[in-house]
Amino acid sequence: MLGRGRFSTVVQEGEEAVKIIDIDDQCAPHNYRAELAALKALGEHPNITEMLRTETTRGFEPQCRIYMHLYPLTLDHVLFDASKATYPPGSGWRNRLNPDRIGSIARQLAEALAFVHSQNIIHRDIKPENILFKTTDSEPMLADFGIAWVPGFGEDPKVCDVGTAEYRAPELLQGKVYTNAIDVWAYGCVVAKLCSTNSEALFTPYRSDIALWDQQQGNLKESVSSLRVFSENVARILCLDPALRPTASTAAEFQW
């Protein structure tokens, strides 16, 4: 098994990955029809996972099976592969990802996200687990549109209970109306993790959303201080005001 979500499982079949969705168990923001529509609209981008074909079965336990190319590694695997033990032994690990590699991943992810937004789609769950690789040296692939907001699927009125805690934008934490800027915030958190000298988690979820946000700010400011250009980019992306946050297209043009 490659992965498991609340209403789906991803398994390997030969050289393909298959996402198996339990149709009857789904509830907002999960919508397999919206996911299929998103994948159909986004399939031609070189940094977005491509839907090869689908199968839908009816009966006692109806399922939708989405077949995709196999990308067995996540961004966390790539970071771990690039990490080295610190001195003295046992004191932790340090990220040794090459700055050129960091910049390449950051730029390609921004380009993929910009394409998503150009189709009026909001991913809503940008995180390392949804950034896939074929090998540790290959190109990043944005994956998992299981809770994406897609135009035309009005049963999901942009609920705020989306995303993964550590990567949720302030407007989500505050229960406000949001735009695709929430994806840009989460992308900024991912880039901060890419740049961090500490390969361990930048954030640990607290019981309080406010405490979590305070912790995010402190850890993110410290995490990328050794890479000045990247640090400036992350600071621009993680703007508290979503209206002033750069778009994904703008972030793709940053100096990485």
Q: What residues are labeled active site? A: 125
Write the DSSP symbol of residue 150: -
**Which runs of consecutive H residues, i.e. helices, occur in 59-198?**
75-81, 99-118, 170-173, 181-195
Backbone angles phi, psi at 219, to 5 degrees: -70, -40
Pull the structure tokens for residue 215.
């912790």
Nearest 5°: CA angle at 15, between 10 and 17?
15
Label residue 31 exposed, middle or buried (CB < 10 Å: 0-12, 13-18, 19+): buried
105 vs 61: CA distance, rounded Å: 39
Report which DSSP code applies to 238.
S
Q: Which phi and psi (to 5°) does residue 21 adopt?
A: -110, 130
| Separation between Cα atoms, residue 47 and residue 56, nearest integer Å | 26
Q: Give yes or no for a contact between 84 and 93, defined as CB atoms under 8 angstroms apart.
A: yes
